[in-house]
Structure 1
Amino acid sequence: MTFPDNFYWGAASAAYQVEGAYNEDGKGPGIWDALSEGHVKHRENGNVACDHYHRYKEDVALMKEMGLKAYRFSVSWPRIMPSEGVINEKGLEFYRNLVKELTDAGIEPMCTLFHWNLPMWLHEKGGWYCTKISDYFEKYTETVVEALSDKVSYWMTFNEPACFIGCGYVMGNHAPFEKCMDMEHPEEMAQKIALLSKNVLLSHGKAVQAIRRCAKKAPKIGMALNASLFTPENTSEESVEAARAATFSEQGAFWNLNWWADPMVKGEIPRAMKDVISGEEREIICQPLDFFGFNNYNTNDYDEYEGRNERAWPGMPRTAMDWPITPDALYWAVKFIYGRYGLPVLITENGMANLDFVMSDGKVHDPQRVEFLKVYLAGLKKAVGEGVPVIGYMYWSILDNFEWAEGYDKRFGLVYVDYRTQKRTRKDSSYWYAEVIANNGADL
């Protein structure tokens, strides 16, 4: 058995994590540019990152060499709109050039509109608390779609709203480093989370409308969500249903999938947001979607949801992010998502951070990543064989890059980046992945 003939084998990145050129060609500051000082390991930042802004042709050539069918990238909002009411043509030109390079190489460009770096001018208006942010996002979406939709068909509105709201505004460990978590005043905290979430959801709905209105060729629209995923201890119906119930419970609020996906896909509003979202707003939020994008790296056993961590046994395999390696993650992710939402699934991120370095032979040997990919993709293949419509898999990430508050320590890439010289070195995993792509997963 192989994957479908039109399956998108790809890899992903995010603008702030790879582009660099933080103040070039008219780009304005974003919250990660302006506010991260003192919040990132080793006082590092994304000012240069992988210098993808200047080296995108080299990077696309590496993608072509690997045989990638798709590349998921994000557009930098502050590069396009450096200040209120200003559109930066140089910024649009960069992305036009990037998507042309991709399509000329036979690689499908998949565009994410927002991957965490909010323009500072919009942050100063309240950021995701701002009641008008959905209108600003709609205008930004129109601008990008009008510029790129002659070559881009696949669009994602947001990457991981659970993270940029949860980490950025609740826990305060990501930009803008605001912390509304206050267990002594839970009602006030809940109101803030509901308002933040409402503004993201409205922005999503208006963006979907804008894409359909402005796209030059038929668009395929989704999102890239992440969430706590719970998997069964065994295949009994009781165990599977317990894991499914935990995955879609409202108890986890914004960390759970249904907090975001139920309003977007089903038009159903979680109880905690019903007082702030009107019927008219619900209609805006719930727009027809073409696929369900999901980022996943690991799972929890459903017993952990009840306070018992059955999977955290001593010596359990973990990545360099200290995340557990759970080979059944993608299998259950796509089964549960398709079962609830009925949309084709695109794995928009999956991968592992490893302790990679260039060895004395000049190569980067990463057998752990190869094994990770082998077992995770085997689970995905099993789900496809059982009839789940999975349209693609985007490995995170194409390049080692700036890993947010972790700085440059955590290396996820298929390609090693020496940040002193910007030299790229393909890792062993990239050659293994190229073979998987060439035989369409036949040997998994």
Structure 2
Amino acid sequence: MSKLPTDFFFGAAMSGPQTEGAWRRFGKVDNLWDTWSNERIEDFHNRVGSYAGNDFTDRHNEDFAILRDLGLTSWRTSIQWSRLMDADGRVNPEGAAYYHELFADAKKAGLETFVCLYHFDMPTYLFRRGGWDSREVVEAYGNYARAALEEFGGEIKYWFTFNEPVVEPQNRYTFGAWYPFHHDFAEARRVQYGISLAHCLGVAAFRDLQAAGTVRPDAKIGLINCFTPPYTRENPSEADLEAVRMTDGIDNRWWLDLVTKGTLPQDVMATLAERGVDVPVRPGDEQILAQGRVDWLGFNYYHPARVQAPSSDTDEYGNPVFASEYVWPDAVMNESRGWEIYPKGIYDFAMTMKRDYPDLEWYVSENGIGIEGEDSSKDASGAIQDDYRIDFVGQHLQWIAKAIEDGAKCRGYHYWAVIDNWSWNNAFKNRYGFVEVNLSDNYSRHLKKSASWLREVATTHEIAPHSEGFVSESA
């Protein structure tokens, strides 16, 4: 039996574009997900685009009651830039009223609201002006962040500038998996740099407005990223270790250095330059980056990164390659998602934080398992019997408990996603929730078997072993 501290918090992670729906209501303008849905709906699983979310807008009070019934005390969402601001960069009154009501209802339900300012949902009109590769758009984000903080600074205690800022460069510009489907490593790094500058402008706005009394004095600002602890083969070569260094440098240390030191890792920047990747640093950027230090950090964890020396220096598009995937023979996989299940990675990250960034508090801001075809797991009463979810979460929580015992500054845990939600172009293909959303019954909510287990853990802070299903303790 593992035990978490009494002040360790449990909550739910979600985002605006994946839950709200109401894409044409409350004065919202199109974001990239709406544009992609309109232009190529066939790219989305079962042709389910961005329009509906999981009906959270009309069901949020029901959902808040569910979260509280499960023993959760907090939740994270995102403000949609495309809902709060109009196309002229001014606050949209309907959008502001929408979020004021949402945050007030969460407070009435007894939930602390965590707000992220950006969750992959750039307004389309700004993307068409250059997106994160444009300094104009970086500055537009600074304007948006300041407006949001001015509007809600007296209501919200916990703020985050970005969710997973490494994902958009990867999925939109390196892998070509998301709109606009580019395969350009250098463009991805320019976008990553633009996001880094935007983060710093958001933090600077927070500091200014907190000093002015607009943001509440007990408020905190942070960043959320999907950190992937890197591993390689046993008895690695120097080239394997170099693959680890650059993978860790671009995906992890880039952000950790930014939020703790106000700089980017110079060894990574030097290697990028050596390989012809131009990151457009301008005079004055050093002062902007220096403002990027945060009060705490969100750690999204789904899987580790296993890499080895690349088989080629460039890919089929002529991009530099710094690492290739290493398939660990003992890997346990979530076949639905294609991700390795490795609970110990959460502990290894915690120990890295303790060693290299000892002053920074953090919490697990996302962790979860998405499974395809959960209907096949229903019992005679219609309840989904998701023991695999209990196994997954229980083992990750056990490693968190051990990390805290060993000195990690981990303060809480938010599960993604307590209630099934729309998941980008996968739509509702893989279900993550402790609570089912039934698309055939007007988005009705139904507890899965795991929900009662979550309630017990959240209220007692005790994690009882469930099975040995996913245990994997060495890399």
| Structures share fold, TM-score greater than 0.5 | yes
Alignment of 1:107-256 (within 5 A): 107-174=111-178, 176-181=179-184, 189-190=185-186, 192-214=187-209, 215-231=215-231, 249-251=245-247, 254=250, 256=251
Deviations 1:353-400 (A, max 9, x none): 124225430312110000101111101110001010101111011221
SS at match of 1:377: helix
Aligned residue number for residue 369 of structure 1: 389
* Structure 1 outlier segments of 4+, above 4 Å: 231-234, 242-247, 301-308
Alignment of 1:65-80 (within 5 A): 65-80=69-84
State the AA in 2 paired with 1:179: H
Structure 1 Cα separation of the partners of residues 242 and 9 of structure 2: 30
Structure 2 Cα separation of the partners of residues 318 and 232 of structure 1: 20
Aligned residue number for residue 7 of structure 1: 8
Aligned residue number for residue 185 of structure 1: none
Structure 2 Cα separation of the partners of residues 392 and 13 of structure 1: 16
Q: Percent identity, please.
A: 26
Deviation of 1:245 (Å)? 8.4
Taking a change above 3 Å as real, the CA distance of residues 245 and 51 of structure 1, as seen in their structure-2 partners, is same
Structure 1 Cα separation of the partners of residues 125 and 282 of structure 2: 28
Asked if residue 25 in structure 1 is aligned to residue 26 in structure 2, the reply is yes
Aligned residue number for residue 319 of structure 2: none
Aligned residue number for residue 95 of structure 2: 91
Aligned residue number for residue 327 of structure 1: 343
Asked if residue 81 in structure 1 is aligned to residue 96 in structure 2, the reply is no
Deviations 1:25-59 (A, max 9, x none): 21111010012323222222120121111111111
Structure 1 Cα separation of the partners of residues 424 and 383 of structure 2: 26
Alignment of 1:273-288 (within 5 A): 276-278=280-282, 280-286=284-290, 287-288=292-293
Taking a change above 3 Å as real, the CA distance of residues 47 and 424 of structure 1, as seen in their structure-2 partners, is same
The answer as to whether partners of 1:400 and 1:414 remain within 8 angstroms in 2 is yes
Deviation of 1:443 (Å)? 4.1
Structure 1 Cα separation of the partners of residues 189 and 114 of structure 2: 30
State the AA in 2 paired with 1:364: I
Deviations 1:276-335 (A, max 9, x none): 324631232233311121111112456699868453448x34252121211212111222
SS at match of 2:167: helix
The answer as to whether partners of 2:243 and 2:309 remain within 8 angstroms in 1 is no
Deviations 1:161-196 (A, max 9, x none): 11111101222212x323043xxxxxxx42x23321
Structure 1 Cα separation of the partners of residues 123 and 162 of structure 2: 15
Structure 2 Cα separation of the partners of residues 359 and 212 of structure 1: 52
| Counterpart selection for 1:356 from 374, 396, 416 | 374
Aligned residue number for residue 415 of structure 1: 435
Taking a change above 3 Å as real, the CA distance of residues 70 and 246 of structure 1, as seen in their structure-2 partners, is farther
SS at match of 1:33: helix
Deviations 1:111-153 (A, max 9, x none): 1110011111111211112211221111111221222222211
Aligned residue number for residue 51 of structure 2: 47
Aligned residue number for residue 341 of structure 1: 357
Structure 2 Cα separation of the partners of residues 250 and 309 of structure 1: 15
The answer as to whether partners of 2:89 and 2:140 remain within 8 angstroms in 1 is no
SS at match of 1:71: strand
Taking a change above 3 Å as real, the CA distance of residues 433 and 84 of structure 1, as seen in their structure-2 partners, is same
SS at match of 1:298: coil
Taking a change above 3 Å as real, the CA distance of residues 14 and 351 of structure 1, as seen in their structure-2 partners, is same
State the AA in 2 paired with 1:142: R
Deviation of 1:61 (Å)? 0.7
State the AA in 1 paired with 2:294: L
Task: Point out the more displaced range, 21-30 or 355-364.
Answer: 355-364
TM-score by structure 2 length? 0.83
Aligned residue number for residue 405 of structure 2: 385
The answer as to whether partners of 1:39 and 1:173 remain within 8 angstroms in 2 is no
* Runs of 5+ consecutive residues of structure 1 not aligned to the other structure: 182-188
Deviation of 1:442 (Å)? 5.6
TM-score by structure 1 length? 0.89
State the AA in 1 paired with 2:355: G
The answer as to whether partners of 1:334 and 1:345 remain within 8 angstroms in 2 is no
Structure 2 Cα separation of the partners of residues 127 and 253 of structure 1: 24
Taking a change above 3 Å as real, the CA distance of residues 163 and 251 of structure 1, as seen in their structure-2 partners, is closer
SS at match of 1:169: helix
Deviation of 1:246 (Å)? 6.6
SS at match of 1:424: strand
State the AA in 2 paired with 1:417: V
Task: Point out the more displaced range, 347-356 or 358-367.
Answer: 358-367
SS at match of 2:11: strand
The answer as to whether partners of 1:263 and 1:282 remain within 8 angstroms in 2 is no
Taking a change above 3 Å as real, the CA distance of residues 243 and 388 of structure 1, as seen in their structure-2 partners, is farther
